[in-house]
Amino acid sequence: MPPAARSRRKNTTKAEQRAETVEQILDTAEQLFSKRGFYGVTLKDVAKGVGVHHTLMHYYFGDKKQLFDAVFERRAPVSAERRMKALDDYEKKVKDKPTVEGALHAFLDTDFDLYIEGGDEWKNGLALTAQIANSPEWGTEIMGKHFDPVVLRLIDILKKALPDCPEEDIYWGYHFVTGALMLSLARTGRIDKLSGGLCKSDDLPAVKQRMAKFMAAGFQSICQDRKAQNRSQ
């Protein structure tokens, strides 16, 4: 450790040192979980990445599941609160005339902005969110705990934007939206390979520019098809 770092370490309190260690553990665990998933990481892996003895993991977090939960719960409320505020602000702005694309921009762009502006920590955090969302074991429980209120807020606005659309089609539309969002946040690199480098998984500004418009057209299409079917019966 450099002399300046040792000096700073001596001047910090035990509480500050503990908080710093916990933050390092969470950052390291988040990076590992986002790459390997829950079952591909051990507490010893995290301890090695931080440079501490693995018994310290149990001291701070008890077991791996508690550490996993702490990693996710550090960022999930920030994402949910930002999206809820964006939806509230959007509805206040447009009053009783929301559009599908406008509502989707409010819902989607906040997470894209976190990715674009938040650095590697948020990239890892959102990639972990994508893993959890697509897990039959964790998806309903963990995602529901943090994100159901904001999702239902979006759906409420979409119902106002599409008053004649069957309710189940709005839910299916959201299902397709969240699938595309999670695939984008996962940054698998598949689109890089398929497009020969023309498109890149890390290019979230490009995704942000296109996704709301693309998904809004899908909502409009399935709702119009259903209306046409109902008229023909």
Look-up of token digits 């074991």? 137
1-62 maps to which CATH number? 1.10.10.60
Q: How many CB atoms lie within 10 A of CB 127?
A: 20
Identity of residue 66: Q
> Domain segments of the chain: what residues?
1-62, 75-232
pTM, two decimals, is 0.83
- As a whole number of angstroms, the longest Cα–Cα distance in the chain is 81
Same fold, 1-62 and 75-232: no
pLDDT along the chain (233 residues), means of 10: 49 81 92 90 93 89 92 90 96 94 96 85 86 82 89 97 94 95 91 97 94 96 75 60
DSSP state of 134: T
pLDDT of residue 201: 92
Angle among Cα 36, 210, 159 to the nearest 5 degrees reads 95
**Residue 89 pLDDT:** 96
What would the CATH number be for the domain defined by 75-232? 1.10.357.10
* Separation of alpha carbons 182 and 132, rounded Å: 10
How far is residue 221's CA from residue 223's CA, in Å, rounded to a whole number?
5
Question: What confidence score (pLDDT) does residue 5 get?
Answer: 46
60: its two tokens: 């701070």
Let me know: does 146 contact 111? Beta carbons within 8 Å.
Answer: no
CA distances (Å), origin 59, targets 16, 74, 190, 230: 17, 19, 40, 61
C-alpha atoms less than 13 angstroms from C-alpha of 230 in its C-beta half-sphere: 9
Per-residue pLDDT, 56: 87
**Contact at 8 Å (CB) between 47 and 113?**
no
